Amino acid sequence: MGRTIISAKNVEVYYSEKQALKQVNLDIYEQQVTSLIGPSGCGKSTFLRCINRMNDLIKSCKFKGELTIGGQNIYDPKVNVVSLRTQVGMVFQKPNPFPKSIRDNVAYGLKIHGLAGSKSELNDRIEWSLKSAGLWSEVESRLGEPALGLSGGQQQRLCIARAIAVKPKIILMDEPCSALDPIATAVIEDLINEISEKFTIVIVTHSMAQAARVSKRTAYFHLGALIEVGNTKSIFTNPLDERTQNYITGRIG
């Protein structure tokens, strides 16, 4: 059991009149992988997007409750969202590299936040990020080529490299493998295992097998509410709640 880094207390989210999250109380521990599972529409992606306030981009979305990272309430009006998102990175469901070169994709975050002083520093960071994402050997000779020329799996690893480049403390992943084939999925799961010691990772997945493979802790969501959370092994072998049991055994979902 590690220290709590993200703490949600009585979190509620509404899209106009519709309530998407009901009274979620959840602690996420640092430097390990936590997965959020549950059937479609259960609110796990919505919860994930609260952590880096991406829900702010949706006009009809309303947040209630308290969400703290490192002890600070991230919905405090004094908080600068830019700073938040630099320290909480995100990888999306469908790979979305910018229509730029591979190197420019990785360099984007570094440039806008002024994190690399000289050109050599920039290149070092880019190399480090791509290595950490397990993509360096495949692209080192063609960094100037368009990122959209890569395969789906490579693009997703590029997006991970892009997110890692700014050295966030937390990385959020929203079903990162759902658009990829099994081989690419395996590569990314290995990658997650490798980087999980350095970063705190929260991953939303609709595949229970994946949750079992990559995460230490698992939280089960159902119709907008958090039903159960605990060690992945015990959730899957000995769930405490009947609804969790039904989902695990495939009776629902």
Partner 1 sequence: MPETKINFHKNSRSLWIDYSVIMMLGIMAGLAILITIGIVFSLLAETLNFLEEVSLSSFLFGLEWSPQTAIRSDQVASEGSFGAIPLINGTFLISFIAMLVATPLGLASAVYLSEYASSRTRDLVKPALEILAGIPTVVYGFFAALTIAPFIRFSGGSLGLEIASESALAAGIAMGMMIVPLISSLSDDVINAVPQALRDASFGLGATQSETIRKVILPAALPGIAGSLLLAASRAIGETMIVVMAAGLAANLTLNPLEAVTTITAQIVALLTGDQEFDSAKTLSAFALGLLLFLITLALNMTAQWIVRKYRNQYD
Partner 2 sequence: MIDLKKIDGFNLARRGRSEKYFRLVGLGSIIISISFLLWLLITIVLGSTGAFRHVQILIQVDLTSEEIDQKNIQSTNFGSIIKSGLRRQFPDVTKRKDKKKLYALVSPEGSFELRRKVLKNPEIVGSITSVWVSASDDLSLYIRGKMDVNLPEDQRIVKNKELSWIKDLEKKEQIRIVTNWGFFKNGDSREPEIAGILAALVGSAWSLLVCFILSFPVGVGAAIFLEQFAPKNRLYDLIEVNINNLAAVPSIVFGLLGLSIFLGYFDLPRSSPLVGGMVLSLMTLPTIIIASRASLQSVPASIKEAALALGATPVQAVFHHVFPNALPGMMTGTIIGMARALGDTAPLLMIGMVAFIVDVPKSILEPATALPVQVFLWADSPERAFSEKTSAAIIVLLFFLIIMNLFAVLLRKKLERRF
Give the DSSP H/E element, type plus range, for residue 214: helix 208-214
Work out what residue 54 binds among partner 2, partner 1, none; the CB cut-off runs from 5 to 8 Å by kind: partner 1
Contacts to partner 1 by CB under 8 A = 52, 54, 57, 81-86, 89-90, 92, 94, 96-100, 108-109, 112-113, 148, 159, 162-163, 166
Which CB, 61 or 79, lies closer to partner 2? Answer: 79
CB of 8 to partner 2, least distance (A): 15
Which CB, 71 or 99, lies closer to partner 1? Answer: 99
CA separation for the pair 171, 184 (Å, rounded)? 19
Give the pairing type, strands 217-222 and 200-204. unpaired
- DSSP string of 129-198, one letter each residue: HHHHTT-HHHHGGGTTSBGGGS-HHHHHHHHHHHHHHT--SEEEEESTTTTS-HHHHHHHHHHHHHHTTT
Which CB, 72 or 237, lies closer to partner 2? Answer: 72
CB of 86 to partner 1, least distance (A): 4
Of residues 92-131, which lie at the interface with partner 2 (CB under 8 A)?
112-115
CB of 98 to partner 1, least distance (A): 6
Which CB, 131 or 169, lies closer to partner 2? Answer: 169
Q: Which residues contact 121 (CB under 8 A, 6 or more apart)?
A: none
Work out what residue 9 binds among partner 1, partner 2, none; the CB cut-off runs from 5 to 8 Å by kind: none
Which CB, 36 or 212, lies closer to partner 1? Answer: 36
- 8-state DSSP, 38: -
CA atoms within 13 A of residue 113's CA, in its CB half-sphere? 18
SS3 at position 223: coil
Give the DSSP H/E element, type plus range, for residue 21: strand 18-29
- 8-state DSSP, 79: S
CB of 76 to partner 2, least distance (A): 8
CB of 69 to partner 2, least distance (A): 6
Work out what residue 72 binds among partner 1, partner 2, none; the CB cut-off runs from 5 to 8 Å by kind: partner 2
- 8-state DSSP, 54: G
For residues 172 and 48, the answer to whether their CB atoms sit within 8 Å is: yes
Which CB, 100 or 206, lies closer to partner 1? Answer: 100
Residue 74 found at the interface with partner 2 (CB under 8 A): yes
Q: Could you list the residues that contact partner 2 (CB under 8 A)? A: 5, 69-70, 72, 74, 78-80, 82-84, 86-87, 112-115, 169
